[in-house]
């Protein structure tokens, strides 16, 4: 069973709409969750960290965590063409020192 | 804050050459640094985890004698690809984490390695 799963996409969203990116994880005791954005040919850039159930908002981004369902999501409001990128979900595995990355969801914002 | 510098950004060299990549945390002390490799259109693959002053922990399938990692200080880790071959051509990315384990990793800009 894959530890962190994401739909690979591409997910196409009209400019100005809300983009919703989802991620599920298998390790029930995971405590730390991260969303990274990666542009083609570039390294990942941290967007959000979330550690407790509920919503966490930062500008146009909202991360949502539901530990009971083992699910974390990222909402991007007022999507812009510059948001077009691959979004990586990452989960800190408590038994270990590393974080596990999903394969990423390619997001395409349509102008 | 949390800036990680990686150098060089691009390397082209002949087969058999050894290549050293540096990763520096510029505005924080990185107790732990990570080295990843990413092939085109693939996900990040963790190669090894290094803690300052101790030996790196390599992931399964990664040859420790080929990919030498040194983490001599709280702000610098190096990855040396020894006797590089064309199949080692890839995008190598380091990340650094300050302090406690629950903190996020911050990535360098990556090094694109091309072995001719």
Nearest by Cα to A83 from A47, A50, A43: A47
pLDDT, tens digit, for every residue of B68-112? 999 888 899 999 999 999 999 999 999 999 877 778 899 999 999
Judging contacts by C-beta atoms under 8 Å, the chain A residues touching residue B108 are 43
**What confidence score (pLDDT) does residue B41 get?**
83
Q: Distance between CA A23 and CA A100 in Å, rounded?
A: 12
Preceding omega of A26 cis (within 30 degrees of 0): no
Whether A110 shows a pLDDT value over 80: the answer reads: yes
Provide the percentage of residues in chain A whose pLDDT is more than 70. 96
| Inter-chain residue contact B43 with A101, CB threshold 8 Å | yes
pLDDT, tens digit, for every residue of B28-52? 998 899 999 999 888 899 999 998 8
- Residues A77 and A21 sit within 8 Å (Cβ to Cβ): no
Whether B54 shows a pLDDT value over 90: the answer reads: no
**What confidence score (pLDDT) does residue A16 get?**
97
Residue carrying the six token digits 């989802």: A22
Q: Which residue of A has its CA nearest to B100?
A: A97
* CA distances in angstroms from A96 to A44, A92, B9, B95, listed in the order given: 21, 8, 30, 16
pLDDT, tens digit, for every residue of A46-55? 999 999 999 9
- Which helix H or strand E contains A3, and what residues bound it? none
Helix (H, G, I), strand (E, B) or coil at B62: coil
| Inter-chain residue contact A92 with B102, CB threshold 8 Å | yes
Mean pLDDT of A43-48: 95
| Inter-chain residue contact A98 with B34, CB threshold 8 Å | yes
pLDDT, tens digit, for every residue of A64-98? 999 999 999 999 999 999 999 999 999 987 767 78
């Amino acid at each position: 069973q894959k530890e962190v799963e994401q739909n690979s996409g591409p997910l196409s969203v009209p400019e100005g709409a809300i983009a919703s990116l989802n991620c599920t994880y298998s390790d029930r005791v995971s405590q730390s969750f991260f969303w990274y954005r990666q542009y083609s040919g570039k390294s990942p850039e941290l967007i959000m960290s979330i550690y407790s159930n509920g919503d966490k908002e930062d500008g146009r981004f909202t991360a949502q965590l539901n530990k009971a369902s083992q699910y974390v999501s990222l909402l991007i409001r007022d999507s812009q063409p510059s948001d077009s990128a691959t979004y990586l979900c990452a989960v800190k595995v408590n038994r270990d020192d590393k974080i596990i990355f999903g394969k990423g969801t390619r997001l395409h914002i349509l102008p | 804050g949390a800036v990680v510098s990686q150098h060089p950004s691009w390397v082209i060299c002949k087969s058999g050459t050894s290549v050293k990549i540096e990763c520096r945390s510029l505005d924080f002390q990185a107790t732990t640094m990570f080295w990843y490799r990413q092939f085109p259109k693939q996900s990040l693959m963790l190669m090894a985890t290094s803690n300052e002053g101790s030996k790196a922990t390599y992931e399964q399938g990664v040859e420790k004698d080929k990919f030498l990692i040194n983490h001599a200080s709280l702000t610098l880790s190096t990855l040396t690809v020894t006797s590089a071959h064309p199949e080692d051509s890839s995008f190598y990315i380091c990340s650094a984490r300050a302090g406690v384990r629950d903190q996020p990793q911050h990535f360098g800009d990556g090094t694109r390695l091309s072995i001719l």
